[in-house]
Amino acid sequence: MSDAEHPGTAEAEAADADHLAALSGLEAVESAVASVRERLGALAAKRAARPAEPVMPGGIAEVVHGEAEQQRVIEQLQREARKEVLIFVRPPYVATAGNPVQRERLAAGVGYRSLYETTALVYPGAADMPGFVEPGELARAVPSVPMKLMIVDAERALLPLSGSRDRSAVSSAGLLLLHRSVLVEALLELFEDRWLRGTPLRMPAPGTVGEEPGFPGFPELDEQLLSLLMSGLPDKAIASQLGISLRTLQRRIRSLMESTGTANRTQLAWFVAQQRLT
């Protein structure tokens, strides 16, 4: 008997096909939901494994993530500075091309005081580049600083959440931006305390130093040489900064030791330190 003679049979078969299609669609939706739920669970577990970001009331602090955003904040803080920028300088660095904004702000009358850790002076490519201390910047050196730090106008401070010496670790951990609070005041006191312990870095102005002339009759150049020597900078980097040959530098150091009656560089540094204290 044909379907035409039993119309209910065709309708039933069509209904069964629709039912099967609906079931198939439902299974696909359930599979998609399960996949999304699994993904959300994985993300939740990953987030739980990460250190919790500091939460402080009143907008005292915020965390800056991502190298591009970190670099933007570093530059923005300097551009917004009205009076003074204080910096603890030590590797690693977020930017690899120096700090061009500093030059702009110095020209605009903003003061910079930078305390260089010795590691920053011997960092590959840093101290060997003439003029790594910008003209107009007040710079000192110490054996070590407790962290990387920037304080702007005694109101805001920027420091890494990680104390690692690995650039990628510092960048991925994020930077902590502190707004005016007792925390910024404490960091300011820390900077001033370490600043007093630093050895002044006296750099020659660009174009003022020649190869051989100057040393016998330029006490200012000797000041710069001794300053760099006491900071722990290697001879090659000192010679590069002063714009003289390594041989000329070493000859002048021997001459200074003879004139001060000191037997080695340690005694020379001690003699210079005593002279500055008296």
237 within 8 A of 247, measured Cβ to Cβ: no
Dump pLDDT digits (tens) for 210-261. Answer: 444 444 445 667 777 887 787 777 788 788 777 788 888 888 888 888 887 7
**In the chain, count of helices (H) and strands (E)?**
10, 8
Assess whether pLDDT exceeds 90 at residue 157: yes
- Residues 6 or more apart whose CB falls under 8 angstroms from that of 123 comprise 91
Q: What single-letter DSSP state applies at residue 215?
A: G
Q: Left, alpha or beta for 98 (phi > 0: left; psi -120 to 50: alpha)?
A: left
Q: Is residue 191 very low, low, confident or very high in pLDDT (cuts 50, 70, 90)?
A: very high
How many whole angstroms separate alpha carbon 149 and alpha carbon 181?
A: 16
Quick one: average pLDDT of 83-109? 84
End-to-end CA distance of the chain: 123
Q: Give percent of the chain above pLDDT 90.
A: 23
Assess whether pLDDT exceeds 90 at residue 190: yes
